[in-house]
Amino acid sequence: MRLQGKVALITGAGNGIGRETALLFAAEGAQVVVADVNRTAGEAVVREIEAAGGQAVFVRADVSKAADCEAMVQAAERSFGKLNVLFNNAGIMHSDDDNAVTTEESVWDLTMGINLKGVFLGCKYGIPALRRAGGGSIINTASFVALLGAATPQLAYTASKGGVLAMTRELAVIHAREGIRVNALCPGPLRTELLMSFLNTDEKKQRRLVHVPMGRFGEAAEIAYAALYLASDESSYVTGTEFMVDGGITAAYVTPE
Protein backbone atom coordinates (compact mmCIF):
# COMPACT_ATOMS: atom_id res chain seq x y z
CA MET A 1 0.00 0.00 0.00
CA ARG A 2 1.42 3.35 -1.06
CA LEU A 3 0.24 5.36 1.96
CA GLN A 4 0.52 2.75 4.69
CA GLY A 5 1.12 4.40 8.06
CA LYS A 6 0.31 7.91 6.84
CA VAL A 7 -2.40 10.28 8.06
CA ALA A 8 -4.01 12.48 5.42
CA LEU A 9 -6.27 15.49 5.84
CA ILE A 10 -8.39 16.34 2.80
CA THR A 11 -10.56 19.45 2.57
CA GLY A 12 -13.62 19.48 0.35
CA ALA A 13 -13.65 15.71 0.78
CA GLY A 14 -17.41 15.30 0.57
CA ASN A 15 -17.64 15.46 -3.20
CA GLY A 16 -15.71 15.46 -6.46
CA ILE A 17 -11.91 15.31 -6.34
CA GLY A 18 -11.89 15.32 -2.54
CA ARG A 19 -14.23 12.35 -2.23
CA GLU A 20 -12.40 10.26 -4.81
CA THR A 21 -9.07 11.08 -3.18
CA ALA A 22 -10.32 10.21 0.31
CA LEU A 23 -11.53 6.82 -0.90
CA LEU A 24 -8.29 6.14 -2.79
CA PHE A 25 -6.00 7.27 0.03
CA ALA A 26 -7.87 5.03 2.48
CA ALA A 27 -7.64 2.09 0.09
CA GLU A 28 -3.89 2.72 -0.08
CA GLY A 29 -3.55 2.47 3.69
CA ALA A 30 -3.90 6.06 4.91
CA GLN A 31 -5.97 7.12 7.89
CA VAL A 32 -8.09 9.93 6.50
CA VAL A 33 -9.56 13.08 7.98
CA VAL A 34 -12.53 14.01 5.82
CA ALA A 35 -13.07 17.78 6.11
CA ASP A 36 -16.03 19.43 4.44
CA VAL A 37 -18.58 22.15 5.08
CA ASN A 38 -21.32 19.65 4.13
CA ARG A 39 -21.74 17.28 7.05
CA THR A 40 -24.08 14.88 5.25
CA ALA A 41 -21.70 14.41 2.33
CA GLY A 42 -18.61 14.18 4.51
CA GLU A 43 -20.07 11.63 6.89
CA ALA A 44 -21.20 9.54 3.93
CA VAL A 45 -17.60 9.37 2.71
CA VAL A 46 -16.43 8.25 6.15
CA ARG A 47 -19.04 5.48 6.17
CA GLU A 48 -17.92 4.38 2.72
CA ILE A 49 -14.29 4.23 3.83
CA GLU A 50 -15.16 2.29 6.98
CA ALA A 51 -17.35 -0.14 5.05
CA ALA A 52 -14.31 -0.95 2.90
CA GLY A 53 -12.21 -1.62 5.99
CA GLY A 54 -10.44 1.76 6.20
CA GLN A 55 -10.15 4.34 8.95
CA ALA A 56 -11.54 7.86 8.71
CA VAL A 57 -13.09 10.64 10.74
CA PHE A 58 -15.23 13.58 9.66
CA VAL A 59 -14.63 17.19 10.66
CA ARG A 60 -16.95 19.96 9.59
CA ALA A 61 -14.79 22.80 8.34
CA ASP A 62 -15.37 26.07 6.51
CA VAL A 63 -11.84 26.62 5.25
CA SER A 64 -12.32 30.38 5.07
CA LYS A 65 -12.46 30.41 8.88
CA ALA A 66 -9.23 30.17 10.87
CA ALA A 67 -10.84 28.40 13.83
CA ASP A 68 -12.21 25.65 11.59
CA CYS A 69 -8.83 25.09 9.93
CA GLU A 70 -7.09 24.92 13.29
CA ALA A 71 -9.72 22.47 14.54
CA MET A 72 -9.41 20.13 11.55
CA VAL A 73 -5.66 19.83 12.05
CA GLN A 74 -6.16 19.23 15.75
CA ALA A 75 -8.67 16.52 14.88
CA ALA A 76 -6.07 14.73 12.75
CA GLU A 77 -3.52 14.69 15.55
CA ARG A 78 -6.10 13.85 18.20
CA SER A 79 -7.64 11.00 16.19
CA PHE A 80 -4.57 9.48 14.56
CA GLY A 81 -1.58 10.97 16.38
CA LYS A 82 0.01 12.93 13.55
CA LEU A 83 -0.41 14.54 10.13
CA ASN A 84 1.65 13.49 7.11
CA VAL A 85 -0.38 14.70 4.12
CA LEU A 86 -2.39 17.90 3.79
CA PHE A 87 -4.55 18.17 0.68
CA ASN A 88 -5.96 21.71 0.47
CA ASN A 89 -8.63 20.85 -2.07
CA ALA A 90 -11.80 22.71 -1.04
CA GLY A 91 -12.96 25.27 -3.56
CA ILE A 92 -15.93 26.92 -5.21
CA MET A 93 -16.79 28.10 -8.70
CA HIS A 94 -19.61 30.63 -8.30
CA SER A 95 -22.30 30.74 -10.97
CA ASP A 96 -22.17 34.56 -10.97
CA ASP A 97 -18.40 34.68 -11.43
CA ASP A 98 -17.82 36.43 -14.75
CA ASN A 99 -15.66 39.33 -15.97
CA ALA A 100 -14.36 42.31 -14.01
CA VAL A 101 -17.30 44.53 -14.94
CA THR A 102 -20.15 42.18 -14.09
CA THR A 103 -18.74 40.14 -11.19
CA GLU A 104 -20.03 41.42 -7.86
CA GLU A 105 -17.55 42.24 -5.12
CA SER A 106 -19.30 39.76 -2.84
CA VAL A 107 -18.67 36.93 -5.36
CA TRP A 108 -15.01 37.94 -5.57
CA ASP A 109 -14.62 38.00 -1.77
CA LEU A 110 -16.39 34.66 -1.28
CA THR A 111 -14.27 32.98 -3.94
CA MET A 112 -11.02 34.36 -2.57
CA GLY A 113 -12.01 33.45 0.97
CA ILE A 114 -12.48 29.78 0.16
CA ASN A 115 -10.15 29.13 -2.76
CA LEU A 116 -7.14 31.21 -1.70
CA LYS A 117 -7.44 32.14 1.95
CA GLY A 118 -8.55 28.57 2.66
CA VAL A 119 -5.25 27.23 1.33
CA PHE A 120 -3.32 29.80 3.37
CA LEU A 121 -5.18 28.85 6.55
CA GLY A 122 -4.76 25.14 5.87
CA CYS A 123 -1.01 25.69 5.58
CA LYS A 124 -0.90 28.05 8.56
CA TYR A 125 -2.17 25.36 10.89
CA GLY A 126 -1.08 22.29 8.94
CA ILE A 127 2.62 23.09 8.56
CA PRO A 128 3.36 22.98 12.33
CA ALA A 129 1.68 19.54 12.45
CA LEU A 130 3.76 18.33 9.52
CA ARG A 131 6.87 19.57 11.34
CA ARG A 132 5.86 17.59 14.41
CA ALA A 133 5.54 14.51 12.18
CA GLY A 134 9.03 15.02 10.77
CA GLY A 135 7.93 16.34 7.39
CA GLY A 136 5.31 15.49 4.82
CA SER A 137 3.46 16.51 1.71
CA ILE A 138 1.16 19.44 1.03
CA ILE A 139 -0.98 19.34 -2.11
CA ASN A 140 -2.87 22.47 -3.12
CA THR A 141 -5.58 22.28 -5.75
CA ALA A 142 -4.96 24.98 -8.34
CA SER A 143 -6.21 24.69 -11.94
CA PHE A 144 -5.11 24.88 -15.55
CA VAL A 145 -6.64 28.38 -15.53
CA ALA A 146 -3.85 29.43 -13.16
CA LEU A 147 -1.67 29.28 -16.27
CA LEU A 148 -4.17 30.12 -19.01
CA GLY A 149 -7.17 32.39 -19.41
CA ALA A 150 -10.49 30.61 -19.29
CA ALA A 151 -12.63 30.47 -22.43
CA THR A 152 -15.71 31.09 -20.29
CA PRO A 153 -15.10 34.11 -18.01
CA GLN A 154 -14.62 33.25 -14.33
CA LEU A 155 -12.30 35.98 -13.17
CA ALA A 156 -12.45 35.45 -9.42
CA TYR A 157 -11.89 31.72 -9.78
CA THR A 158 -8.99 32.18 -12.19
CA ALA A 159 -7.34 34.82 -9.99
CA SER A 160 -7.77 32.69 -6.88
CA LYS A 161 -6.14 29.68 -8.52
CA GLY A 162 -3.29 31.86 -9.79
CA GLY A 163 -2.74 32.88 -6.19
CA VAL A 164 -2.73 29.25 -5.07
CA LEU A 165 -0.05 28.47 -7.64
CA ALA A 166 2.16 31.39 -6.57
CA MET A 167 1.72 30.58 -2.89
CA THR A 168 2.60 26.94 -3.53
CA ARG A 169 5.91 27.88 -5.15
CA GLU A 170 6.92 30.11 -2.26
CA LEU A 171 5.93 27.61 0.41
CA ALA A 172 7.91 24.92 -1.40
CA VAL A 173 11.05 27.04 -1.26
CA ILE A 174 10.56 28.07 2.36
CA HIS A 175 9.98 24.57 3.72
CA ALA A 176 12.11 22.37 1.45
CA ARG A 177 14.88 21.91 4.05
CA GLU A 178 12.30 20.81 6.63
CA GLY A 179 11.25 17.80 4.60
CA ILE A 180 7.93 19.41 3.72
CA ARG A 181 7.08 19.21 0.04
CA VAL A 182 4.48 21.56 -1.44
CA ASN A 183 2.98 21.01 -4.89
CA ALA A 184 0.08 22.44 -6.86
CA LEU A 185 -2.24 19.97 -8.53
CA CYS A 186 -3.63 21.60 -11.67
CA PRO A 187 -6.63 19.74 -13.10
CA GLY A 188 -8.00 20.44 -16.53
CA PRO A 189 -11.76 20.58 -17.15
CA LEU A 190 -13.45 17.80 -15.19
CA ARG A 191 -16.84 16.16 -15.34
CA THR A 192 -17.60 17.13 -11.76
CA GLU A 193 -20.70 18.75 -10.29
CA LEU A 194 -18.64 21.89 -9.63
CA LEU A 195 -17.74 22.52 -13.27
CA MET A 196 -20.86 21.08 -14.87
CA SER A 197 -23.07 23.41 -12.82
CA PHE A 198 -20.92 26.37 -13.93
CA LEU A 199 -20.88 25.31 -17.58
CA ASN A 200 -24.64 24.99 -17.45
CA THR A 201 -25.38 24.98 -21.18
CA ASP A 202 -24.19 22.73 -24.01
CA GLU A 203 -22.66 25.79 -25.66
CA LYS A 204 -20.51 26.57 -22.60
CA LYS A 205 -19.45 22.93 -22.29
CA GLN A 206 -18.37 22.81 -25.93
CA ARG A 207 -16.47 26.10 -25.64
CA ARG A 208 -14.38 24.50 -22.93
CA LEU A 209 -14.19 21.00 -24.37
CA VAL A 210 -13.11 22.06 -27.85
CA HIS A 211 -9.70 23.08 -26.46
CA VAL A 212 -8.95 19.67 -24.90
CA PRO A 213 -6.86 17.48 -27.23
CA MET A 214 -8.22 14.30 -25.63
CA GLY A 215 -11.71 15.50 -26.53
CA ARG A 216 -13.34 14.77 -23.20
CA PHE A 217 -13.71 16.05 -19.67
CA GLY A 218 -11.49 14.44 -17.07
CA GLU A 219 -12.79 12.41 -14.16
CA ALA A 220 -12.27 13.20 -10.49
CA ALA A 221 -10.77 9.75 -9.98
CA GLU A 222 -8.02 10.57 -12.48
CA ILE A 223 -7.03 13.58 -10.38
CA ALA A 224 -7.09 11.45 -7.24
CA TYR A 225 -4.38 9.19 -8.66
CA ALA A 226 -2.19 12.24 -9.33
CA ALA A 227 -2.76 13.35 -5.73
CA LEU A 228 -1.78 9.85 -4.59
CA TYR A 229 1.59 10.19 -6.32
CA LEU A 230 2.23 13.59 -4.73
CA ALA A 231 1.19 12.29 -1.30
CA SER A 232 3.36 9.19 -1.47
CA ASP A 233 7.09 8.78 -0.96
CA GLU A 234 7.38 8.07 -4.69
CA SER A 235 7.44 11.85 -5.21
CA SER A 236 10.13 12.45 -2.59
CA TYR A 237 12.15 14.74 -4.93
CA VAL A 238 9.12 16.64 -6.23
CA THR A 239 8.32 20.04 -4.78
CA GLY A 240 7.19 23.42 -6.07
CA THR A 241 5.66 21.93 -9.19
CA GLU A 242 2.65 22.70 -11.36
CA PHE A 243 1.39 19.16 -11.66
CA MET A 244 -0.78 19.31 -14.78
CA VAL A 245 -3.49 16.69 -15.24
CA ASP A 246 -5.39 18.36 -18.04
CA GLY A 247 -5.91 16.15 -21.07
CA GLY A 248 -3.33 18.23 -22.93
CA ILE A 249 -5.21 21.54 -22.76
CA THR A 250 -2.18 23.59 -21.73
CA ALA A 251 -0.18 22.12 -24.62
CA ALA A 252 -2.69 23.15 -27.27
CA TYR A 253 -4.90 25.98 -26.06
CA VAL A 254 -5.96 27.39 -29.42
CA THR A 255 -9.20 28.44 -31.01
CA PRO A 256 -10.17 26.04 -33.82
CA GLU A 257 -10.63 27.41 -37.31
Question: Where in the sequence numbering do the catalytic residues fall?
Answer: 157
Tell me how far apart the alpha carbons of residues 158 and 240 are, in angstroms, rounded to a whole number.
19
DSSP state of 218: B
From the CA atom positions of the chain, what is the Rg in Å? 17
Q: Are 140 and 167 in contact (CB under 8 A)?
A: yes
How many residues are listed for the chain in this entry? 257
Cα separation values, 75 from 23, 69, 83, 152, 160, Å: 19, 10, 10, 39, 27
Tell me how far apart the alpha carbons of residues 174 and 169 are, in angstroms, rounded to a whole number.
9
Tell me how far apart the alpha carbons of residues 17 and 10 are, in angstroms, rounded to a whole number.
10
Q: Are 233 and 29 in contact (CB under 8 A)?
A: no
